[in-house]
């Protein structure tokens, strides 16, 4: 036990020593701590000073921050405000857009409706215009038919048989003394003859023969002027009436000049002018639904026999011709060339061919053309299908043989035969026209080839025009008197205006 107590006492001493060193150590640590505390206070002081500034600066920042955040909230408010406005605007825009769309649609609809309306109006207008056109076409047609009727009435009042006198100019111009044409009057011609007195007395030696006709053309009358009068009859031919135009007179009096004329424009005669008028008029009538067909023929009557002037075959094979009359009174010539023509140039070509044919038949001593009749015929057929009307007519233009009389002693053989044939056919022509004018029951058409050929163109509703051509030379006095007497006999029996007075 003692051991143990000594151990224990050792240990207590140990511990007491230890305690003493720990105490000492503690003392030292307390000092260090005090030191450190004061150091800390110092440091705290230092820090306090240092942070005071920073704090102050920080409070500035905070204020700023506060301001910024208040700004931010203001802005946010504003933003949300704007956003609200924007939303309103958007809705507004949307509604306006829809409104615009509806508006557009309605505008389109109204435009469409308006266009449709205009279209309807236009269609209506077109229909009414079409009606007007149809009505005007009817009126035009009625007008055309009325014009035809009136034109014919005028022609009939003027006389279905008319005689014109035409005096050829002297070769060196002027007018011969024995022919007098009063300036005031276009219907009278006076033939004056001063005869050598057999008894020596001068009284009663002056003889005046006064003739009046439907028209007298002096030597200055142009082809155009002459044609103007005939063009009315040419119109009648187109209207469906037969028309016959003759040139009568002694050889050299201007028959061929009147009927055919010369090549150059102003000198063109009745035939080319009539043909031109007909084709032009037909062209115009085509717009009113008329369709025309034209057939031309050209025949020569020499010594009472017929010759085709449009014949183009061999001379040795020339056929014979006969005049045939059909049951409907249409006259045709057998084996004759009937040429369909559709324009002026074709006809002019045929006239040239006829002239060539005629000249080959004559020799220097035998001027056959003056002793034969040449007959140009244009058959006109018009149809207006739409109106169901037709017209058919013939235009005959005849250059007669010279009317001069030959002394019997001078004419023998062939010449005598010719003379008899010419005299026969010309006087028969006078007789036929007189008979027609006097409405006699018997008309001797058959007495000559000329009247037989032309019978359908003479009489009835036909229009006949006789030109009496006069040569102004004083040595033609006798022939001139004969021609005027013949013509006035024809004229006289028609309307009674012609008179052959002998003073």
Q: CA-CA distances (angstroms) from residue 26 to 35, 40, 291, 426?
A: 14, 20, 156, 191
Degrees to nearest 5, angle at CA 90 with 87 and 92 = 110
Size of the site for ligand ADP (CB under 6 A): 12
Helix (H) or strand (E) holding 31: helix 2-158
Q: Give the span between the Cα atoms of 480 and 216, in whole angstroms.
A: 14
The smaller minimum CB distance to ligand ADP, of residues 221 and 389, is found at 221
Binding test (CB under 6 A) with ligand ADP, winner from 159, 240, 252, 349 = 252
Q: Give the span between the Cα atoms of 336 and 306, in whole angstroms.
A: 9
Window 224 to 263, contacts with Mg ion (CB under 5 A): 255-256
The smaller minimum CB distance to ligand ADP, of residues 296 and 470, is found at 470
Minimum Å gap between C-beta 234 and ligand ADP is: 20
Minimum Å gap between C-beta 196 and ligand ADP is: 29
Contact between 249 and ligand ADP (CB under 6 A)? yes
* Part in contact with ligand ADP (CB under 6 A); list of ranges 25-33, 253-261, 409-417, 435-443: 253-261
Residues 290/382, Cβ–Cβ less than 8 Å: yes
Q: Which residue's Cβ has the minimum distance to ligand ADP?
A: 254
Query: Residue 330 carries which DSSP code?
Result: -
The smaller minimum CB distance to Mg ion, of residues 252 and 430, is found at 252
The smaller minimum CB distance to ligand ADP, of residues 256 and 377, is found at 256
Residues 229/463, Cβ–Cβ less than 8 Å: no
Tokens of 121: 């109006």
The smaller minimum CB distance to ligand ADP, of residues 206 and 356, is found at 356
256 annotated as a binding-site residue: yes
Contact between 223 and Mg ion (CB under 5 A)? no
Residue 424, binding choice from Mg ion, ligand ADP, none, Cβ under 5 to 8 Å by partner class = none
Q: What residues contact residue 261 under an 8 Å CB cut-off, 6+ apart? A: 223, 267, 268, 269, 270, 272
Query: How far is CA 442 from its chain centroid?
Result: 49
The smaller minimum CB distance to Mg ion, of residues 162 and 358, is found at 358
In SS3 terms, 109-155 reads as HHHHHHHHHHHHHHHHHHHHHHHHHHHHHHHHHHHHHHHHHHHHHHH
Minimum Å gap between C-beta 367 and ligand ADP is: 9
- What are the backbone angles phi and psi of residue 90, rounded to the nearest 5°? -60, -45
251 annotated as a binding-site residue: yes
Minimum Å gap between C-beta 466 and ligand ADP is: 14
Contact between 248 and ligand ADP (CB under 6 A)? no
Q: Give the span between the Cα atoms of 144 and 138, in whole angstroms.
A: 10
Binding test (CB under 6 A) with ligand ADP, winner from 256, 374, 403, 451 = 256
Residue 235, binding choice from ligand ADP, Mg ion, none, Cβ under 5 to 8 Å by partner class = none
254 annotated as a binding-site residue: yes
* Part in contact with ligand ADP (CB under 6 A); list of ranges 204-212, 245-253, 318-326, 478-486: 245-253
253 annotated as a binding-site residue: yes
Place of tokens 């060539």: 356
Q: CA-CA distances (angstroms) from residue 394 to 305, 462, 463?
A: 22, 9, 11
Residues 407-441 as b or e (16 or more Cβ within 10 Å = b): eeeeeeeeeeebbebbeebbebbbbbbbbbbeeee
Helix (H) or strand (E) holding 210: strand 206-212
Size of the site for Mg ion (CB under 5 A): 2
Window 438 to 497, contacts with ligand ADP (CB under 6 A): 469
Minimum Å gap between C-beta 281 and ligand ADP is: 26
Binding test (CB under 6 A) with ligand ADP, winner from 155, 176, 212, 253 = 253
Backbone dihedral region for residue 174 (phi beyond 0: left; psi -120 to 50: alpha; all else: beta):
left
> Please, is 94 exposed, middle or buried when counting C-beta atoms within 10 Å of its C-beta (0-12, 13-18, 19+)?
exposed
* Nearest Cα to Cα of residue 331 among 271, 244, 409, 415: 244
Q: CA-CA distances (angstroms) from residue 41 to 46, 51, 52, 278?
A: 8, 15, 16, 148
Minimum Å gap between C-beta 221 and ligand ADP is: 7
The smaller minimum CB distance to ligand ADP, of residues 274 and 443, is found at 274
The smaller minimum CB distance to Mg ion, of residues 168 and 449, is found at 168
The smaller minimum CB distance to Mg ion, of residues 255 and 321, is found at 255
Window 152 to 171, contacts with ligand ADP (CB under 6 A): 168-169
Binding mask 110-149 for ligand ADP (x = CB under 6 A): ----------------------------------------
Cα radius of gyration rounded to whole Å, the chain? 65
The smaller minimum CB distance to ligand ADP, of residues 166 and 321, is found at 166
Minimum Å gap between C-beta 258 and Mg ion is: 9
Minimum Å gap between C-beta 339 and Mg ion is: 23
- What are the helix (H) ranges across 240-326? 255-259, 270-286
Binding mask 354-383 for ligand ADP (x = CB under 6 A): ----------------x-------------
The smaller minimum CB distance to ligand ADP, of residues 372 and 451, is found at 372
Tokens of 307: 């010759």
Q: Which residue's Cβ has the minimum distance to Mg ion?
A: 256
E-assigned strand segments in 254-406: 290-302, 305-308, 323-325, 331-333, 339-341, 373-384, 389-399
Indicate the annotated binding residues for ATP. 249-256
> Site residues (CB under 6 A) for ligand ADP?
168-169, 249, 251-257, 370, 469
> Site residues (CB under 5 A) for Mg ion?
255-256
């Amino acid at each position: 036990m003692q051991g143990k107590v000594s151990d224990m006492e050792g240990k207590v001493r140990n511990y007491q020593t230890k305690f003493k060193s720990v105490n000492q150590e503690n003392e030292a640590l307390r000092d260090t701590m005090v030191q450190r505390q004061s150091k800390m206070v110092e440091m705290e002081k230092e820090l306090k000073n240092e942070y005071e500034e920073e704090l102050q600066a920080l409070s500035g920042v905070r204020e700023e921050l506060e301001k910024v955040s208040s700004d931010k909230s203001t802005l946010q408010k504003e933003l949300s405000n704007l956003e609200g406005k924007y939303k309103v605007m958007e809705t507004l825009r949307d509604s306006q857009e829809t409104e615009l769309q509806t508006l557009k649609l309605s505008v389109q609809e109204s435009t469409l409706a308006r266009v449709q309306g205009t279209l309807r109006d236009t269609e209506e207008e077109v229909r009414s215009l079409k009606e007007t056109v149809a009505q005007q076409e009817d009126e035009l047609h009625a007008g055309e038919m009325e014009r035809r009727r009136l034109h014919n009435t005028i022609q009939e009042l003027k006389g279905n048989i008319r005689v014109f006198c035409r005096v050829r100019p002297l070769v060196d111009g002027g007018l011969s003394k024995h022919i007098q044409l009063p300036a005031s009057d276009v219907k009278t011609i006076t033939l004056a003859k001063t005869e050598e007195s057999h008894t020596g007395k001068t009284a009663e030696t002056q003889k005046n023969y006064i003739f009046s006709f439907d028209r007298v053309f002096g030597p200055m009358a142009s082809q155009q002027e002459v044609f103007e009068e005939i063009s009315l009859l040419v119109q009648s031919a187109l209207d469906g009436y037969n028309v016959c135009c003759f040139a009568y007179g002694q050889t050299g009096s201007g028959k061929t000049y009147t009927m055919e004329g010369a090549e150059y424009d102003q000198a063109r005669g009745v035939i080319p002018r009539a043909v031109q008028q007909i084709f032009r008029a037909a062209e115009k009538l085509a717009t009113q639904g008329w369709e025309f067909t034209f057939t031309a023929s050209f025949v020569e009557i020499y010594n009472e026999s017929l010759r085709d002037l449009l014949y183009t075959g061999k001379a040795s094979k020339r056929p014979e011709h006969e005049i045939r009359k059909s049951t409907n009174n249409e006259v045709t010539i057998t084996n004759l060339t009937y040429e369909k023509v559709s324009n002026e140039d074709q006809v002019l070509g045929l006239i040239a061919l006829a002239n060539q044919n005629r000249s080959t038949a004559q020799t220097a001593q035998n001027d056959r053309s003056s002793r034969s009749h040449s007959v140009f015929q244009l058959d006109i057929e018009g149809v207006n299908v739409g109106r169901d009307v037709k017209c058919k007519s013939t235009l005959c233009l005849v250059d007669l043989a010279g009317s001069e009389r030959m002394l019997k002693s001078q004419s023998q053989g062939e010449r005598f035969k010719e003379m008899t044939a010419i005299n026969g056919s010309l006087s028969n022509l006078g007789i036929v026209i007189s008979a027609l004018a006097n409405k006699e029951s018997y008309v001797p058409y058959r007495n000559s080839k000329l009247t037989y050929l032309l019978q359908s163109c003479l009489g009835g509703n036909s229009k006949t025009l006789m030109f009496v051509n006069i040569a102004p030379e004083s040595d033609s006095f006798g022939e001139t008197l004969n021609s005027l007497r013949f013509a006035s006999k024809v004229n006289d029996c028609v309307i009674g205006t012609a008179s052959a007075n002998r003073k």
